[in-house]
Amino acid sequence: MVDVLVAPDREAEVGTLVEEHEEQPGFVRRYIFSTDHKIIGIQYILTGLFMAVVGTLLAVLIRLQLGWPEQQWPLLGRVLPGGFTDGVMGPEFYLALVTMHGTIMVFFFVSYVLVSGFGNYLIPLQVGARDMAYPFLNMLSYWVAFLSAGVMLASFFVTGGAAAAGWTSYPPLSAVPTAVPGSGWGQTLWILSMALFIASFTMSSLNFVATIFCLRARGMAMMRMSLTVWSFFISAILGLLAFPPLTAAAVMLLFDRHFGTSFFLPSGLVVANEVLPHQGGSPLLWQHLFWFLGHPEVYVLILPALGIACDILPVFTRKPVFGYRIQVYNLVAVGVLSMVVWGHHMFVSGMSPFSGEYFTLVTLLITIPMTIFGVNMIASLWGGRLLLATPMLFTLGVIAFFGTGGFGGLFLGNATADMQLHDTYFVVGHFHFMIGGVTLLATFAGIYFWFPKMFGRSMSEAWGKVHFWLTFIPFFIVFFMQHFLGLQGMPRRYYAFTSYEFLQTTMGQNVVISIAALVLMGAQLVFLANFFSSLARGRRAEANPWRATTLEWAAESPPPHGNFGRTLPVVHRWPYEYSVEGLEADYTPQTVSPREAPVTA
Amino acid sequence: MIQQSATFPRPHAADAESALRDDVVQLGVWMFLATLVMLFAAFTSAYIVRRSASDWTPLELPGILWVNTVALLASSGALERARVAGRRGRVSSARRGLATAAALGLAFLAGQLAAWQELAARGVYVPTNPHSSFFYILTATHGVHVVAGLGLLVYAVTRAWNGAPLDHGPTARLMTASTTFWHFLVGL
């Protein structure tokens, strides 16, 4: 009912906004300090892709050390004299690599491209709005995000190098500036960059929620929104509630480091043969505050990946997504549960067995909606006419990774098994499938799928397929094998793992993983080449090249400022009207009136 | 559903746009407050955890804090009166209320600084003991938000004095938003 009441009011807004959009802003206002959600979305995507290249180069170095430990690389020694002594990688540098690879990929690649990038680009288009609810805040959010990425990159160039306490920055390592070289300025910049990131993400999330609540087009009831929009909606709410506690923790960590407080530093800590003056603090407190952000964060990232997958599936099966309503309820259930499971990252922290039991229980509970979600995605394929275009291949990859990675999660979610597997490569393999693989493949699926809308040109299908297979197969080899390294007891983040006799047998496996990883990373060059050459020379795309139903395809490719011309679209049906019996076309866009085609949902 | 909307009385276009903007701004303020609740909840839970450690020594807080609390409460009351007066079109009363609220807010900040000075004079600094660390960080975080709130108030005061209408439009929205925000800070 609320929709119906708000709907007529919208006419007024249409009028003023069109006028606003008629004046042509200059180049700077249009492409650099733009308040247009589409430009901001593309800015986020390009920034995120740049950070991904940086993160990938770090991963190359990590794999070199793990595949060929302490090998001499004279050329690298000359390029990176700080990290290599006589061409051999130093252990401190390795720790900084691991830390920065994790931080950059989680916060600056996946968050920027998948959540902020696609979120900004798609939400107004898919709900039928002209822009975000607070366009200025949106621009501010991008530039704060840009600054945050800049500060993080700058930390490579300060004395002592980048932060080295892991992407989770556990104290005391992160709280004592003298602990390791990377605990110096690198760590301080890390904290500041994270605070900026959270501020920027909060601004984006405010925009996402307000736009979805207030600016939907006439007829766009909540239960007519695409699953992409639903997933952004839930993940934005999670971001608003889960991220601020880390700001609080970051402030306290900063005070511990620079102003002599003891929030996280316990008594009697000895660093470099000196007893530190701190006393009474609790390092575990940081872990709680970090994971209170950290766990919802993984859902903030993976829910949009799943939402995007659910929107691409029907287009390439030509049938509705299976169980739309159930999928929405699943997203809500996962959102709620994700706030109360953070302790499963801390099973070995000496928590009471009762807490362990509780966190095991809620973690296993959250697998129920997630499993239903996955099964519904498989059911969406059932009986469909599969068209194996590049976006569809990547979406099928999402389902495969989601199933494989999720299976490993069952072991880790259970305190008893986790005690054995904690901090081993089993964990590394697991989260790379989920927060790494599912999100990565969904990002690619989204880019191949919406590229024609964003730039008015299509990407090469042939190269897209090459890119898919060269990504999917090596990725699977790398991270599936890492599960077995973990079962053999190989701990994560160890530089000199070869010093342990029982790990000598893993050397061969590590070489195979490193080679597969190098193939995987090399394959991304195919993507970059395809992306940029398609920008310049790709085939011109029409408004709706995939014959899809959602609102963004009703706009031109690329959509003009204000998105929809003089009048906003009116929505008459749900977003998955495919292959309705008795109709000639196998799809009916959301804007088609009930007089022309029956409404099925 | 859709047919129904056609028979719904269509409000005046400008009013409708303004009402939509009202909703959007109000929703934004409430969501922002939700994030602040989580921020302070994190500090509070850390406080509770840390208090159970053996080195916790309670701090004797300066008496002026009570005066500050009263000042901030009074400021909130004045702002609420100004908002109501503004909505009813009583301009001068609204202006006076706004100015009083801003002045009392400034007084609060001055009082907090005085409290810090008193503590420092007693030799209690940030790292002295965990209670003082929390006291300084919490009051500083709160203070930063009060400064932001004051910024909004001063902006509202100048707009009100320059004759912007207070019963509708951007300034009224600004007043409602800053009032909500201000009440929240007082509550903290």
pLDDT per position as a tens digit, A531-576: 999 999 999 999 999 999 999 999 999 999 889 988 899 999 999 9
Statement: residue A15 has pLDDT above 50: no
A466 in reach of chain B (CB within 8 A): no
Contact B130 A263 (CB under 8 A): yes
Q: Select the more confidently predicted residue: A152 or B15.
A: A152
Contact B17 A16 (CB under 8 A): yes
Which residues of chain B make contact with A13, given a CB cutoff of 8 A?
16-17, 20
Which residues of chain B make contact with A2, given a CB cutoff of 8 A?
none
Tell me the Cα Rg of chain A. 24
Q: Check residue A6 and give its pLDDT.
A: 37
Task: Give the separation between CA A7 and CA A3, rounded to whole angstroms.
Answer: 6
B3 in reach of chain A (CB within 8 A): no
Q: Check residue B166 and give its pLDDT.
A: 61
Contact B20 A240 (CB under 8 A): no
Q: Check residue B142 and give its pLDDT.
A: 85
Q: Check residue A11 and give its pLDDT.
A: 40
Three-state secondary-structure class, residue A58:
helix
Contact B34 A240 (CB under 8 A): yes
A175 alpha carbon, distance to own chain's centre? 27
Judge whether A430 and A361 are in contact, CB under 8 Å: no
No. of helices (H) and no. of strands (E), chain A: 20, 4
In this complex, which of A210, A255, A570 lies closest to B28 when CB atoms are compared?
Answer: A210
Buried b (16+ CB within 10 A) or exposed e, A26-62: eeeeeeeebbbbbbbbbbbbebbbebbebbbebbbbb
Q: Which two tokens stand for residue A119?
A: 């979120």
Three-state secondary-structure class, residue A308:
helix
Task: Give the separation between CA A294 and CA A290, rounded to whole angstroms.
Answer: 6
Contact A244 B56 (CB under 8 A): no
B13 in reach of chain A (CB within 8 A): yes
Q: Which two tokens stand for residue B71?
A: 């000042």
Residues in a beta bridge with A587? A578
A572 in reach of chain B (CB within 8 A): yes
Q: Where are the domains of chain B?
A: 62-187
Considering A19-23, A33-37, A82-86, B36-40, the range whose residues carry the highest mean pLDDT is: A33-37
A219 in reach of chain B (CB within 8 A): yes
Which residues of chain A make contact with B54, given a CB cutoff of 8 A?
280
Contact A262 B2 (CB under 8 A): no
Task: Give the separation between CA A524 and CA A546, rounded to whole angstroms.
Answer: 24
Residue with tokens 């995000």: A145
Range B62-187 has CATH code 1.20.120.80: yes
Q: Check residue A584 and give its pLDDT.
A: 87
Task: Find residues 37-96 of chain A whose CB sits inside 8 Å of chain B.
Answer: none
Ranges A144-158, A423-437, A456-470, B134-148: which has the least confidence: B134-148
A601 in reach of chain B (CB within 8 A): no
Task: Give the separation between CA A96 and CA B96, rounded to whole angstroms.
Answer: 57
**Closest Cα in chain A to B6:** A8
A257-310 pLDDT per residue, tens: 998 888 998 888 888 788 888 888 888 999 999 998 889 999 999 999 999 999
pTM flag (> 0.80): yes
Residues in a beta bridge with A84? A89
No. of helices (H) and no. of strands (E), chain B: 6, 0
Residue with tokens 């997504």: A321
Predicted ipTM of the assembly: 0.83
Task: Give the separation between CA A105 and CA A557, rounded to whole angstroms.
Answer: 30
Judge whether A427 and A102 are in contact, CB under 8 Å: no
Which residues of chain B make contact with A16, given a CB cutoff of 8 A?
17
Using alpha carbons, select from B172, B61, B51, B34 the residue that is nearest to residue B122: B61
**Closest Cα in chain A to B10:** A8
Statement: residue B180 has pLDDT above 80: no
Task: Give the separation between CA B79 and CA B25, rounded to whole angstroms.
Answer: 18
Using alpha carbons, select from A483, A481, A485, A476 the residue that is nearest to residue A440: A476
Ranges A7-21, A465-479, B54-68: which has the least confidence: A7-21
Q: Check residue A180 and give its pLDDT.
A: 80
Q: Check residue A17 and give its pLDDT.
A: 42
For residue A172, say if its preceding peptide bond is cis, omega within 30 degrees of 0: yes
Residue B118 to chain A, least CA–CA distance (Å): 19
Q: Check residue A227 and give its pLDDT.
A: 97
Q: Which two tokens stand for residue A237?
A: 């709410």
